[in-house]
Amino acid sequence: MDKRKPNLTEVAAAAGVSKMTASRVLRNSGRFSEKTRARVMQEAARLNYVPNRLAAAFGSDAASTLVGVLVPRLSGGLFGQVVEAIDATLGRFGYQTLIGTYENRGDQEENWLKSVLAWRPAGLILTGRAHSEGTTAMLKAATLPLVEIWDLNTRPMDISVGINHFDCGYEMGQLFLSRGRQRIGYVGTDETTPGLSRARMEGFQQALKGTLALPVESEILDDRPSFYQGCYGAQNLISRRPDLDAIYFQNDEMAVGGMAFCQSAGLSVPGDIGIAGWGGMDVATVLNQRLTTTNISTRAVGRAATEVLVSRIRGDPVNEVIEIPAVLVPGKTL
């Protein structure tokens, strides 16, 4: 038995019309009579016709309905939520999500980009605004709709949808000061793509600069952010500077890890030491104190990025810099 999929020609023949008419009916473009439409649709259904997007995307100069999405990782953290929102929104507009992760391997970004561009995608969504030279060159040459997300970039290559991380850090720094904290530490990780969280630390430091508070003592770990890293980082920091009275963590996951360490070390929070995180992650709900953090709407980032990308693909006018608000939520840990 021949298992080959039926193609448009066969559907058209079965319906007694030309290929082109069948194509028009199936795409609902151009003009045709209701009677013709019904016949074509019926035959397509009867034959289990599956349109070949490969041929469609290839044959027309219009780009494909593929959109490349690149994030550092999918597990833990917030990127999984972002990608979920992107995928759901792209789906609504009839696009498909071609995913890529580059966890701890910056060079992967370039390889991924090469293989994705080969599919002539309709657009791209990349995380972070720092790219390698090769990446930048390829993106410039490709001249396709491109959204850089997560880190707000006021002068994006094309479009930027993100959070003002510097301000997040700055605001949190001010909160630390208003709580009377003086000997302050920061625990973060050194991600391959800088800028992803660094701006937050810089804003934080900026807020404390020129105040009575001592310079921020930083512990930068060489791994992805996680509970362990938060716990470990807090331990390192406190053993180096036992007089610390507050720590700002790169994200809530790490902050929760830090809390765990403090608890095991017999330090009371916020009495002996203040703790704050970032991201408004679900994980913080396990604490019996509300964590001081900055809430981010990851869904909003994903949705806004996708919607603006689709607008650009369609040639509609778009706002090229879209800031997603972040809200500092004072909890009980600082």
The binding site for DNA (CB under 7 A) comprises 4, 7-9, 16-21, 23-24, 26-27, 29-33, 35-36, 49, 51-52, 55-56, 58-62
- Binds 93: which of DNA, a copy of itself, none (CB < 5-8 Å by kind): none
- Selection from 154, 138, 168 nearest residue 70 by Cα: 138
Measured distance CA(242)–CA(185) in Å, rounded: 11
Closer by beta carbon to DNA, 115 or else 211 = 115
What is the rounded (10 degree) CA torsion for 305, 311, 313, 315? Answer: -150
- Binds 103: which of a copy of itself, DNA, none (CB < 5-8 Å by kind): a copy of itself
Whether the Cβ atoms of residue 246 and residue 185 lie closer than 8 Å to each other: yes
Residue 100 binding a copy of itself, by CB under 8 A: yes
Q: Which residues, other chains included, contact 154 with Cβ-Cβ below 8 Å and sequence gap of 6+?
A: 160, 321
Residue 103 binding a copy of itself, by CB under 8 A: yes
As to burial, measured by CB atoms within 10 angstroms (0-12 exposed, 13-18 middle, 19+ buried), residue 141 is: exposed
CB of 180 to a copy of itself, least distance (A): 28
CB of 1 to DNA, least distance (A): 17
CB of 160 to a copy of itself, least distance (A): 22
CB of 269 to DNA, least distance (A): 60
Residues 10-69 touching a copy of itself, rule: CB under 8 A, are 48, 50-55, 57-58, 64-66
**150, 166, 170, 227: which one contacts a copy of itself (CB under 8 A)?**
227
- Binds 329: which of DNA, a copy of itself, none (CB < 5-8 Å by kind): none
- Binds 112: which of DNA, a copy of itself, none (CB < 5-8 Å by kind): a copy of itself
Q: Running DSSP on this structure, what letter comes out for residue 245?
A: -
| Element housing 112 (H / E) | helix 106-117
Amino acid code (one letter) for 106: G
- Binds 29: which of a copy of itself, DNA, none (CB < 5-8 Å by kind): DNA
| Side-chain-side CA neighbours of residue 255 (13 Å) | 34
Residue 209 binding a copy of itself, by CB under 8 A: no
Q: Running DSSP on this structure, what letter comes out for residue 279?
A: B
**10, 32, 80, 130: which one contacts a copy of itself (CB under 8 A)?**
80
* Both tokens assigned to 206: 């900026």
Residue 333 binding a copy of itself, by CB under 8 A: no
Q: At what angle do helices 106-117 and 133-142 cross, to 10 degrees?
A: 20
- Selection from 223, 174, 170, 232 nearest residue 201 by Cα: 170
Question: Which backbone phi and psi does 211 adopt, to 5 degrees?
Answer: -105, -175
Residue 272 binding a copy of itself, by CB under 8 A: no
Closer by beta carbon to a copy of itself, 46 or else 240 = 46
Can you point out the beta strands (E) in 92-209? 96-101, 123-127, 146-151, 159-163, 184-189
Give the interface with a copy of itself as residue ranges (CB under 8 A).
3, 48, 50-55, 57-58, 64-66, 73-76, 78, 80-81, 83-84, 87-88, 91, 94, 96-101, 103, 108, 111-112, 114-120, 138, 141-143, 226-228, 231, 256-257, 259-260, 263-264, 282-283, 285-288, 298
